[in-house]
């Protein structure tokens, strides 16, 4: 697990993913992303780090100086096998 203090979870042009209505959505961090974050700072974001899937979320916020603490951790090592089910 990693802890970082910064204003937003990503920097401009970083790729990230969110789950929207059960669908994994990919986006690139920009001004619109910052606005969406401000509307819902508790959202969980996903990203790729060293070829592995990781998540990042807001842990705490210091309202006096605007600093936010984010925690991130690996979610999937890429060694999982995924199965699909078919109806017969």
- The reported pLDDT for the residue numbered 82 is 44
- The reported pLDDT for the residue numbered 77 is 60
Q: Which helix (H) or strand (E) holds 25?
A: strand 23-28
Give tens-digit pLDDT for 63-87.
898 899 999 998 876 555 544 445 5
Give tens-digit pLDDT for 2-19.
899 999 999 999 999 999
Higher pLDDT residue, 54 or 78?
A: 54
* Residues found in the chain: 88
At 41, list the tokens: 């700072």
In the chain, where the domains are located: 2-76
The pTM assigned to this predicted structure is: 0.79
- The reported pLDDT for the residue numbered 1 is 81
Bridge partner list, 60: 69
At 84, list the tokens: 């699909």
């Amino acid at each position: 697990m990693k802890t970082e203090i910064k204003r937003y979870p990503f920097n401009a042009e970083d790729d990230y993913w969110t789950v929207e209505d059960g669908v994994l959505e990919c986006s690139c961090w920009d001004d619109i992303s910052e606005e969406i974050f401000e509307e819902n700072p508790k959202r969980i974001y996903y990203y790729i780090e060293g070829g592995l899937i990781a998540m990042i979320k807001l842990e705490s916020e210091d309202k006096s100086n605007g600093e936010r603490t984010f925690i991130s951790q690996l979610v999937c090592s890429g060694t999982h096998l995924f199965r699909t089910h078919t109806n017969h």
